[in-house]
Amino acid sequence: MSDIKNPAPFYTLKQAAKELNRILKVDYYDSKKLLSIALVYDLKLHAYFSGDISVFVDTNFYFLNKREIAMPIKEITEEIINLEIAAFGAFLELSTYSIEKIYHFGQSDVNNYGLENITNLNADATNQPHFLSCSPLKQKYLKYISEQEIKEIKILSIFPIRNTITKENPTRPRKYSTYRNEDNEDIYHPIITRKDIFLTHTQLTRVADGVLAIREANPHDTQKETSNSYKNRKPQGKSRAKEHAQIAAKTLANFLWNQDKDNQIKIKEMAITVHAELYQTEHREQLPNHSVSLKDWIKDIAPEYAREAGRPKEI
């Protein structure tokens, strides 16, 4: 990519295709071909979010095994993303599912699957993979977690929403689906179209240099069909506190099942374990009265062996 002396930090799909055709001296690339490449190869595509949009985030903070800092990490992650959206605009990475929907149908409602990650352009330009590394809130989260531990945080999903839609307060993306919650209030979920998608310079370079790899199956998407299994993670009339409790339950259960190499933990046992763990946290007030009832929160992400009848195998 030495042909670009002053690279732009990001490109629309149309601009990226034009630049690739110029650099490679071909007439091959267009917006839809870039989408098809991203379906097969590990090309990261982003949607640009700006304006009055808020997010809640699902992370694997339990991987750190430090329950006392779990919620500060989650809250700070949300605060960082909200700040970037409000102050600068933010590039959020599309899931493979969303890319597929946009490729075939022209748009994707990200309410079901969420977005994969946030890309800080300064971090991207300096080859720093973790979004927290360049955050202006760095000193705040360093009170809770070390630089090394920061690298272990992984965002599973980001769910952006709007509470109001007004002409006086435009946002990107511009299209939204509407959901009426139990309080008879409208909640708006962004719809991503081809015009909302961007490539960073780093991703454009990877296409031009031919260094893309076959995309690995994302267990978060493929393990249990996220549009069904994670449907309770989106804000559909529940309180935000209960949404966080359900996210925490699914995250912890998913983590424990991933560690269950002997395929022993059934849904009932997992519900009891997760209930006991979350009862020691700020989620206590949102939990079902009976631990077994937590099965309804996690059953749709359970692996097949956890659904089988019978007692778990003896070790």
User: pLDDT tens digits for 129-140?
Assistant: 666 666 766 666
Q: For position 65, what pLDDT does the model report?
A: 46
Q: Label the pairing between strands 107-109 and 46-49.
A: unpaired
- Which structure tokens are listed for 140? 């705040």
- Which structure tokens are listed for 268? 């009932």
- Angle, alpha carbons 232-183-188 (nearest 5°): 60
Q: Which of 301, 113, 116 lies closest to 223, judged by CA?
A: 301
SS3 271: helix
pLDDT tens-digit map of 82-131: 888 888 888 999 988 899 989 999 999 887 678 888 887 777 777 766 66
The count of other CB atoms within 10 Å of the CB of residue 276 is 12
Residues in the chain: 315
Burial of 205 (0-12, 13-18, 19+ CB in 10 A): middle
pLDDT tens-digit map of 56-65: 887 765 444 4
Contact 70, 281 (CB under 8 A): yes
Q: For position 27, what pLDDT does the model report?
A: 92
Q: In what order do the strands lie in the sheet with 197-200?
A: 10-12, 197-200, 46-49, 90-93, 118-119
How close are the terminal C-alpha atoms of the chain, in Å? 56
pLDDT tens-digit map of 186-195: 888 889 999 9
Q: Which residue has the tokens 């097969």?
A: 40
Q: Considering the entire predicted model, what is its pTM?
A: 0.64
